[in-house]
Amino acid sequence: MPPPRSLLDSNNQPPPCPAPPSPTRRLWAGVAVALAALTPPLAPARAAPEKCPASAKNLELGAALPVTRAALRERKNVVVVALGSSSTQGHGATSEANTFPRQMDIQLRRRYADVKVGFTVLNRGVGGQDVDEMMERMDRDVLAHKPDLLIWQVGTNAAMRGMPVDVFRARVTAGVRRAKAAGADVVLMTPQYVPAVVSLANEEDYITALEEIARETGAGLFRRWGIMREWVTGERMPYAQFMIPDGLHLNDFGQRCIGKLIAKSIERAMGD
């Protein structure tokens, strides 16, 4: 039976059969197969570490935190209470693991794992509360746990509701003194730099009040406002990268970064 016309050349002749591979070519082909079998598959690329920029100035708490330092030195369990509103509670985060108190906990445990110091970080954030409501529950939610360190996120709701700045200053000062008298270090956290707060007429008056309270009482100050303003104006980070669409609350990235950065600030204050 003649070959199909599709297999004939232009002269109606079958094409010549390809020459068999030479012994040398067969040898190198075998070597290539063997090498491929011995070469381990490439590991999947690791995700780049999450960048949470902050200047050295904004990481300075401005207080030595002597109670916390003593607890670390004595290798005791360090109790940290995070008091605040929805920012602390974690509104905007997709899970509790992404909230700033939990991320702070993770970072501190990792940093001090070699000295076998335990940390208990309690999240006492309640959405929608301002300074008055937090003061009402300070004994139950904070002081009853005998904290070494109180992180107090305060000021956003006071600013948004128009609480008089002098009233705000007096009430936060009283809360700080109350916590310090009970034996706790205190770190105040300024409001977040987001459109809902930036758009207020006098939002920076509350930040100035917190700065003054920290100086007058010896409390630390975590400059969340300054850090996040650097993200927007210095790093050119879009708001959508660190907040949810409501214009107020932080998303997972924003929450994680704040937790990591406040842990770094505490480490710097420890001086080791």
| Integer Cα distance of 144 and 189 in angstroms | 21
**Per-residue DSSP letter, 190:** P
The SS3 call for residue 151 is strand
State the sign of the Cα–Cα–Cα–Cα dihedral 124, 49, 232, 95. Answer: negative
Distance CA 131, CA 150 (A): 14
Averaged over 44-50, what is the pLDDT?
A: 57
| pLDDT in the model for residue 43 | 39
DSSP assigned state of 115: G
Burial class, 139, CB count within 10 angstroms (exposed 0-12 / middle 13-18 / buried 19+)? exposed
pLDDT band for position 116 (cuts 50, 70, 90): confident
Chain mean pLDDT for the chain: 87
Residue 159: Cβ-neighbour burial (10 angstroms; 0-12, 13-18, 19+)? buried
Structure tokens at 40: 């381990």
Task: Give pLDDT, residue 272.
Answer: 58
Q: pLDDT (tens digit, 9 = 90+) per residue, 8-43?
A: 444 555 545 444 444 434 433 343 333 333 333 433
How far is it, in rounded angstroms, from Cα 135 to Cα 138?
5
CA 143/CA 183 separation, integer angstroms: 9
Segments of 148-219 assigned E as strands: 149-153, 185-189
Bridge partner residues of 237 (DSSP): none
CB-based contacts of 132, cutoff 8 Å, min separation 6: 171
| Partner residues linked to 188 by β-bridges | 152, 221
Q: Residue 42: its pLDDT value, please?
A: 39
105: DSSP letter: H
Angle of CA points 133, 137, 140, to nearest 5°: 175
- Going across the sheet that includes 220-222, the strands are 119-125, 78-84, 149-153, 185-189, 220-222
Averaged pLDDT, 166-190: 98
| C-alpha dihedral sign at 203, 89, 131, 246 | positive
What is the pLDDT at residue 13? 52
Any idea which of 16-25, 35-44, 107-116, 135-144 has the lowest mean pLDDT? Answer: 35-44
What distance lies between CA 128 and its chain's CA centroid?
21
pTM above the 0.85 mark? no
Nearest alpha-carbon partner for 53 in 248, 246, 241: 241
Half-sphere exposure of 214 (CA within 13 A, CB side): 25
Comparison of pLDDT for 253 and 38, the residue scoring more = 253
Q: Is residue 196 over pLDDT 90?
A: yes
| Whole-number pLDDT of residue 170 | 98
DSSP structure class, residue 62: S
